Structure 1
């Protein structure tokens, strides 16, 4: 690819800059014109919202009064039904009579409850047997059972059985023998509110003919009022997403009915009122205003380009080329190269700072080696730059791996030899990030980090601390007498196995060794210890890769079988316990006893919690012990 000179590039780029300046200035002017148009639209919309809110507030008082009167009508209807039934007891269980009463008092449903709150009669037999405990809707009236003076009216809500919106009222009969509940269909209950619909309110004032107005319910996002034909539809049908159903005083853009529009909204009571103006209407004056600025912008931009070209200096280009040449040498490892450009104060300072930076790199490497030698642990590191193909090895790295200068030189000359050296170390991994060096009998911790083209590896000699940690783990997790896992070791190992998603079929066996007390009493505790060891040796004969054994304490042992691909194979291995039970084992001084024990099995299908599995297996062990004693 042919590269251009800096002068040619600046001339070429200055043309682009000129066009970009014109472009961005046009954008800025357009932007301010759009902002002005949006502000005017916002003001018009907020004024309209104010008028709507004032009308709603004025009507709210009348609406509240009508609702209160209607609720009282519901109570009066319930009282009328209760009085009729009390005067005419024969109608209490007569559906036809109850329907006549319902028609007479203008209610849709009548339900009769007994003193226990159970529906015993009514106009709808399908509800017979329901009670105040039959769902949230009926439980609203349950306080009537504890207070016979209550008169309750429920808010309009959907009947959970018929899915029809109803309003229910309930009260006791005057003789306190039964409870009457009446229900009125939502269409009847909402007649008083129809005149307050927002579509009606939109007609009370003159709106902008070029704007659309919508009222959207804040809960179900349905259109409840509009200047167009969408009442009852969801807001998404006109293009409004659920995330856009919110108060937006500053407005937002979206596609409404197939055309991009600007939307301003305000929440008034339970609805969001939207003023929607098509973008073609909102910004119809913007192109005209922008066109007047283009000529002036072109003149200003051309003058700006001429000033940039005039500012070019050849000596700047030459100095940059010279610096680049010297930096190239430094990047390839020639750290003794000095940068010296003194034809201007700026380049003189730049040369000085480059030389200082190069010197600080050399000093930092020496400081790092010194710091690492002062720690209690032997620490080394290497740094490999793939792009420059350079390798740095610290003194600590050389000491950890006992490398001589010839080996280090070979690694730097042929990086593949160094990579092979690291790969050989990786074959001796004992734990995560921990490796064993057999020739030097060292344990080292290796951590490396890759950053773009550079790999940094840190090696720490942890031989002493690793050996101490392993010794502590053995003392903590291994039973001193039997040299198998103790309670703590079992808990750690089994819980780790249970975390394995591929554990497949598994089971826990709780084993209780019989006769330990008799052996201690007859032959002494030394033989008792040998008896426990013999039990351990026998268990070890069945513990392979798929079986973990340990001693809980005293005469109690655990065997954990795991990673079986079938229950048949699992049970076959567990049944080995029956084969070794009651066999004769030798103690000290030619004493021999029968190896007697009882055991219980908990399969993985019964529990996945270790403690619960032990409890289940322990219970089954005692069942097994009782059966064996009963033989």
Structure 2
């Protein structure tokens, strides 16, 4: 009874220890799963944030390239149109010179020159002497002006020393009135006078107005959060922008992101610009500084939703993993408990078996001692041999039971249901313990 109580207490103690171990393992597993979740979530969030920044800067770079292409194409088209008009106006100046040379006596009054100007489709026609002084023309108030009278008229001064030249000026403000004009000048056929025409280049001015850089910026397709700024690098003034509230704003020099830009070099930064944090890409292009920005908040607008979806997927995966792991751990723990129970049963069996083995051994030793004592008594010797055989048979049966433990565990050993002689069994048992009983 005492041994049975100790065994039960030991089993209970081992069960409690196993339960506590299971709780500790479950707690560690939950903490590990939580740490893995946090690590993966934070890591993926940072990677997604960085990837959004790279994509935003790449988008800004592509928009900047598109802006540069439009400006280059705009300048090329402007130059082609201006060159075409220069050739056309030079031809008209030559035609005016031919008219005047062939009918010099017919061009005495300003009205005569005004009629010629109307015929040629120009605004002004004037005649200069060999020294560069206006001596006649369609606008009398310009009479007496020389090539030293202003920058506009001074453009033609090289022609005084080189009679082979014929020049046409770029669009420039008229010195007297300030309106945009283009002037072409040629030498008359007898080289004794210079003939100049002045034209308001309506086609060029209309094209310039429709192709103004601010209108180019306005036509670009921008995503939400993206802005374009074109700065005149000489003055630091914003001359074109996607948001009109910054037009005319001077950001030179203290507000500039970069003190000085190198031609052809692209800059990328993440800065606080125009009251918000932005990814910016900017570059110097001729007389302009072009900047494309992307608000960080807009670039990461979908980040919370993406992270929420990822978190749900991650939680589901971790819950599934935790469930599978816990089931496997429970399975291992059950196997462990069964193994411990089996080991305890084996230990108890062997303990009892060792006690039972000593009983027939003691019987054999006692009968052997009797046989030695009655060495000459053959009847006694026969009785002792018979008892030794009984005890050894009982011992053999115990040993066989020990050897059959493996069969019992594997389920190969099955109990038998057969008749036996109870009296014979009791007699054999009594003969074994008879000597111990007498002692």
TM-score normalized with structure 1 length: 0.35
Compare CA radii of gyration and give the structure with the larger one. Answer: 2
**Structure of higher RCO (CA pairs closer than 8 Å, 6+ residues apart):** 2
What TM-score, normalized to structure 2?
A: 0.48
Structure (1/2) with the larger helix percentage: 2
